[in-house]
Structure 1
């Protein structure tokens, strides 16, 4: 599932150890996010398909963010893929600061990230928006756990706040959180890295922040939307 692979890839920014992801789809968005992570200093290696396997079959990709060289995500990269805005959570949690372009740049009316910013402010981030960029800094250099109730359900904001809270000081409770399987996959990944997350898959997620996260090996879940498409195709045949 691409929508699971992307946040798992971004989670590599949370640790200076190696994160290995299995079953990564071979898609343009994945390749674009690899380039975006590379801009921050993430090294990667791809174990490609074996002989006679289908193109892009069950790739394994290894990420290493030992040295984050830049906490800025420029417009020319973020504008190509909205999910790349999500790097703001891990960068802020690990480095204490981040400067990330709004997905729509300076365009008037394109501010679909209010829940992200509001949630990060609740966790102790000072946030300014200047010339199309979100400039975020953690007070005293580290985010602090808190309670945040989403005004409406947001998968992206739930991803970001889970990642940010995993390195925050103290406990964070996210209420009215998204419950998609991709949220559960990210929580499983973060827990494998040493995070303490309970309740993923329900509307209340509790995160007990830790000092640091380690590496892990995690499998990206299958795509439920694609599975549903095949199920409908089978139904249309009137057979098995």
Structure 2
């Protein structure tokens, strides 16, 4: 079973195109499914399939209701090593909340890191916006987790941080069937994140900051111009 959103994108033409690109190859065997990740939006399962001698690691993302909602081929090695936390991380001084941002069609799992504070007190928040390409909420890259470490440092110093899975990572296949735009890739999700941050318990809605990396930084003027109702600064 597949989700309605997936069905609307995974057409017969796309399936035929995939088969032609593979040279009409046959699937000769399938491995045992292995759960790789769970978040509030998807459960990711990896199945290694052999197509006429070539092993292809296929990632399937399932909705909480058990329907296939995404599919992609893993193109990078499966790294199981642990990336250490920075020395300035003080986990006893903050709490992490798992939330969902975005819209009903493309919900995005996110983490809000909130410093421990007195009852009734509100703290400022920084929304982290990725660079180009599909990235997770930690901005994991070559043995680093830049956004995770930024969240740890800021939250250890009294500032909340909201970071989220990028649209092109969580819903990449469905996105590929739509026209590529900067708003779809970066701007809209940053605005969803800022709006969600403003509604969270313990967050000061008058002190929302947006911090962008690479493409996220270059998009900042557009993000701010499209969010006139929010008191945000970038």
TM-score (norm 1): 0.25
* Structure having greater relative contact order (Cα 8 Å, sep ≥ 6): 1
For the pair shown, which has the larger CA radius of gyration, 1 or 2? 2
Between Structure 1 and Structure 2, the one with more strand by share is: 2
Q: Would you tell me which structure has more helix in proportion to its own residues? A: 1
